Amino acid sequence: MTKEPVKLPEKLAATQAGVVGLGLMGTSIVTCLLAAGHKVTGLDKNPSRRRGLRRRVGKFLREMRREGLLARDPRSVVRNLRSSGDYADLRDCGIVIECVREDLKLKRQVLRKIEEAVPSETLIGSNTSALPISQLQRGAEHPERILGIHWGEPAHVLRFMEVICGRQTSLERAEHVVELARRWNKEPTLVRRDVRGFITNRLMYAMMREAFHLVEAGYATPADVDRSVRNDLGYWITFAGPFRYMDLTGIPAYAAVMRDLLPDLDCGKNVPALMRRVVRAGAKGVSNCKGFYPYTAGQARLWQRLFLKFSYEIRKLALKYPEDVGDRPVKRKNPTARAG
Ligand SMILES: NC(=O)c1ccc[n+]([C@@H]2O[C@H](COP(=O)([O-])OP(=O)(O)OC[C@H]3O[C@@H](n4cnc5c(N)ncnc54)[C@H](O)[C@@H]3O)[C@@H](O)[C@H]2O)c1
Domain architecture of the chain: domains with CATH: 10-191 (3.40.50.720), 200-323 (1.10.1040.10)
Which of 87, 99, 115, 162 most suits a substitution to test ligand 1, by most atoms within 8 Å of the C-beta?
A: 99
Testing ligand 1's pocket by substitution, the residue of 32, 84, 100, 284 carrying the most ligand atoms inside 8 A of its CB is 100
Asked if the peptide bond before residue 154 counts as cis, ω within 30 degrees of 0, the response is yes
Which residue CA neighbors atom 32 of ligand 1 most closely? 45
CA of 153 relative to ligand 1 center, distance in Å = 12
Give CA–CA dist 33/175, Å, rounded.
Answer: 18
How high does pLDDT run on average in the chain?
95
**How many angstroms does the Cα of residue 127 sit away from the middle of ligand 1?**
8
Task: Report the separation in Å between the CA atom of 99 and the middle of ligand 1, taken as the mean of its atom positions.
Answer: 5
C-alpha–C-alpha distance, residues 25 and 21, integer Å = 8
Task: Pick from 129, 286, 287 the residue to mutate for probing ligand 1's pocket: most ligand atoms within 8 Å of its CB.
Answer: 129
pLDDT tens track for 212-261:
999 999 999 999 999 999 999 999 999 999 999 999 999 999 999 999 99
DSSP for 254-279?
HHHHHHHHGGGS----S--HHHHHHH
Q: pLDDT tens digits for 74-130?
A: 999 999 999 999 999 999 999 999 999 999 999 999 999 999 999 999 999 999 999
228's enclosing H/E stretch is: helix 222-231
Distance of CA 93 to CAs 87, 89, 122, 149, 156, Å?
11, 9, 7, 16, 20
Ligand 1 centroid to residue 203 C-alpha, Å: 22
Using alpha carbons, list the distances in angstroms from residue 98 to 109, 151, 217, 240, 246: 11, 11, 39, 31, 37
User: Sign of torsion, CA 173 179 184 185?
Assistant: positive
- Which tens digit of pLDDT belongs to each residue from 266-296? 999 999 999 999 999 999 999 999 999 999 9
SS3 for 196-219 is: CCCCHHHHHHHHHHHHHHHHHCCC
The stretch 125-154 carries a mean pLDDT of 96
Residue 5 has pLDDT above 90, yes or no: no
What number does the ligand 1 atom closest to the CA of 110 have?
Answer: 31
CB 186 within 8 A of CB 178: no
Per-residue pLDDT band for 263 (boundaries 50, 70, 90) equals: very high
Kindly tell me if the per-residue pLDDT of 4 is higher than 90.
Answer: no
Pocket of ligand 1 (CB under 6 A): 20-26, 43-46, 49, 99-102, 106, 110, 127-129, 151, 153
What is the reported pLDDT for 3?
67
Q: What is the pLDDT of residue 6?
A: 77
Q: Please state, in angstroms and rounded to a whole number, the distance separating the CA atoms of residues 209 and 212.
A: 5
Q: Percent of the chain, pLDDT > 70?
A: 96
Q: Predicted confidence band at 340 (pLDDT cuts at 50, 70, 90)? A: very low
**19 with 26: CB under 8 angstroms?**
yes
Q: Which atom of ligand 1 is nearest to the CA of 103?
A: 41
Q: Sort strands 81-84 and 93-98 into parallel, antiparallel or unpaired.
A: unpaired
Q: What is the 3-state secondary structure (H, E, C) of 93-141?
A: EEEEEECCCCCHHHHHHHHHHHHHHCCCCCEEEECCCCCCHHHHHCCCC
- For residue 46, the ligand 1 atom closest to its alpha carbon is 37
- Average the pLDDT over 37-45 and give the result: 97
Of 109, 102, 99, nearest to 131 (Cα)?
A: 102
User: With contact defined as beta carbons under 8 Å apart, do 80 and 34 qualify?
Assistant: yes
Spatial separation of the C-alpha atoms in residues 89 and 91, rounded to whole Å:
5
Find the range with the poorest average confidence among 153-157, 206-210, 324-328. 324-328
44 CA → ligand 1 middle, Å? 10
For residue 338, pLDDT beyond 80: no
What DSSP line would sit under 300-330, residue for residue?
HHHHHHHHHHHHHHHHHHHHHS-TTGGGSPP
Measured distance CA(200)–CA(129) in Å, rounded: 9
Ligand 1, atom 37: closest residue by C-alpha? 46
